Amino acid sequence: MYAISKNNEISELRAPKIVVNNDRKNGKETALLVTKDTFKEMARNNQVKDEEGKVEKGKHYIAFSLEGKNYRIIVDINQLANTLGNTLLFEIGSLKEKNDEGKFEAVNETKWNKTLGLDKDGAKGVNTYLGSLIVEQVASQQQTV
């Protein structure tokens, strides 16, 4: 994965995030949330190649670690689900997990949320730069005096 840094400043805000997209048409689906600048960088440096080393047109990947395991998600630029200002939301084409032999194996789409921890209570997404689950924090209970 490429580092997101500028003038020695690492930006968590620019980091690609995997989120659960609550699409009214398709229900819940796992998606990649990324800024336009970060996507340009990803498109330039993270092109998907087939087994012969040929670039697969329009397909790009993000590699990241989460809970000690290595993953790779692939998005197709033709699968842009939504745009809001400087933010792009892509449908994820595949999720792959690195096995003990160092090869990436596809994870069944029905298991994506569980594999990434997005099925846990309060889970909002995965920050691919920090390799951590983003959890919604519940406001503390009111204290009585």
pLDDT greater at residue 110 or residue 122: 110
Torsion over CA: 61, 130, 32, 73 (sign): positive
Phi-psi region of 27 (alpha: psi -120 to 50; beta: other; left: phi over 0): left
pLDDT greater at residue 68 or residue 14: 68
SS3 content of the chain, % helix, strand, coil (to 5): 10, 50, 35
Across the range 43-47, mean pLDDT stands at 92
pTM attached to this predicted model: 0.79
Across the range 92-115, mean pLDDT stands at 94
pLDDT greater at residue 106 or residue 3: 106
Tell me the percentage of the chain whose pLDDT exceeds 70: 81
The alpha helices in the chain, defined as continuous H runs, are 36-45, 112-116
Please count the residues of the chain: 145
pLDDT on residue 66: 93
Tokens 């846990």 sit on residue: 120
Across the range 27-38, mean pLDDT stands at 86
pLDDT band for position 20 (50/70/90)?
A: confident
The tokens describing 17, both together, are 């995030």
Q: Mean pLDDT in the chain? A: 83
The pLDDT tens digits for 59-90 are 999 999 999 999 999 999 988 888 989 999 99
